[in-house]
Amino acid sequence: MDSINWGILKCLQTNARQSNTDIGRQVGISSPAVSERIKKMEDSGIIEGYKTMVSPYEVGYQLKAIITLRAFMGKLKPFLDKVKTYDEVINCYRITGDENIVMVVSIKNQKHLERLIDQFIVYGETKTQIVLSDIVRNGPIKPL
């Protein structure tokens, strides 16, 4: 990873829909060179993919919450299989510490949150925090 590749990644993380010509102007190389470098980064797994960011609020999900789960004995593996089926779960992380799992969920309202928690508590003890606002959202990966 040289400074040009980092520059290309910065451009893509800011706006993945901009043209290779625009990216080339920003990093100082030609459009075909940008295309070749992007392809190499995709092939090597540095660039994992592209996605559309959807505003949960604008599509009816009024609340975001962080839920931690401390799994009951023998319930972690079943939970890891089941959690992938919940549409409300935006991100789920297996972590170290007192809890086993941290999830970020989007829900329509408090009643929706209550129903979701009721489904999780068969797997373990939960703790829930409501998110008030996003301070850093999908921050860019930067060179070390």
Question: Is the pLDDT reported for residue 55 higher than 90?
Answer: no
Distance CA 23, CA 26 (A): 5
pLDDT average, residue stretch 107-119: 97
Structural domains of the chain sorted by starting position, each given as residue range(s) with its CATH number in brackets: 3-44 (1.10.10.10), 57-130 (3.30.70.920)
Q: Give me 113's structure tokens.
A: 């949150």
pLDDT of 78:
97
Query: Higher confidence at residue 47 or residue 142?
Result: 47
Higher pLDDT, 55 or 31: 31
What element of type H or E holds 66? strand 63-71
Q: Which carries the bigger pLDDT value, residue 53 or residue 94?
A: 94
Structure tokens of 69? Answer: 């789960």
Q: What pLDDT was estimated at residue 52?
A: 86
Q: Could you tell me the pTM of the whole model?
A: 0.81
* HEC assignment per residue over 93-114: EECCCCCCEEEEEEECCHHHHH
Cα(12)–Cα(34) distance, integer angstroms: 11
The encoded tokens of residue 83 equal 């959690």
pLDDT, the chain, mean: 94
Q: How confident is the model at residue 28 (pLDDT cuts 50, 70, 90)?
A: very high
